[in-house]
């Protein structure tokens, strides 16, 4: 099951949920402000992040600036504790499934969440469509 970590005022979160609804892909929404993330959820997100905290934490966050926090100097357990206490530092939305994570809305990258079988079917349908134009050579082309 795909989990989408969101916040109520996030426009990218709304776009992501709309996209999943349009694609009829089930997901579980988790509002990071109304229900605290568990230690296991945070570790899963961090583990799947290609660049660790850099991918998921906004270093421009008010909390980080006010407390003058250097995320890179914290241990894993300190990072988890810090995020649990300050969920607003997380970039949003965060989409996680069994294999991957995506942070933010990206219209091309989000396609990876379409089930493999459906993607293969979409590719077959695209390949089966006739070309909209015919190739021409030399003086036979009518290009204006």
Q: Which of 10, 13, 136, 141 does the annotation list as catalytic?
A: 10
The confidence score (pLDDT) of residue 132 equals 56
Percent of the chain past pLDDT 70, that is, above it, reads 90
Longest dimension (CA), the chain: 71
The confidence score (pLDDT) of residue 116 equals 83
Burial of residue 9 (number of CB atoms within 10 Å: 0-12, 13-18, 19+): exposed
All structural domains of the chain: 2-127 (3.40.30.10)
The pLDDT confidence band at residue 138, using thresholds 50, 70 and 90, is low
The confidence score (pLDDT) of residue 134 equals 53
What pLDDT digit, counting tens, does each position of 48-93 carry? 999 989 999 998 899 998 988 899 999 999 999 999 999 999 999 9
Confirm whether 13 is a catalytic residue: no
């Amino acid at each position: 099951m795909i989990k989408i970590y969101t916040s109520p005022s996030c426009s990218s979160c709304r776009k992501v949920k709309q996209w999943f609804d349009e694609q009829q892909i089930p997901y579980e929404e988790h509002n990071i402000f109304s229900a605290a993330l568990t230690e296991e959820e945070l570790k899963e997100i961090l583990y799947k992040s290609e660049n660790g905290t850099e991918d998921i934490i906004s270093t421009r966050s008010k909390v980080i600036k006010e407390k003058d926090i250097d995320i890179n100097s914290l241990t894993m357990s300190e990072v988890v504790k810090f995020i649990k206490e300050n969920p607003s530092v997380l970039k949003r939305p965060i989409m996680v499934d069994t294999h991957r994570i995506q942070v933010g809305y990206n219209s091309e990258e989000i396609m990876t969440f379409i089930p493999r079988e459906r993607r293969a079917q979409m590719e077959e349908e695209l390949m089966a469509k006739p070309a909209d134009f015919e190739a021409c050579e030399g003086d036979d082309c009518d290009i204006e």
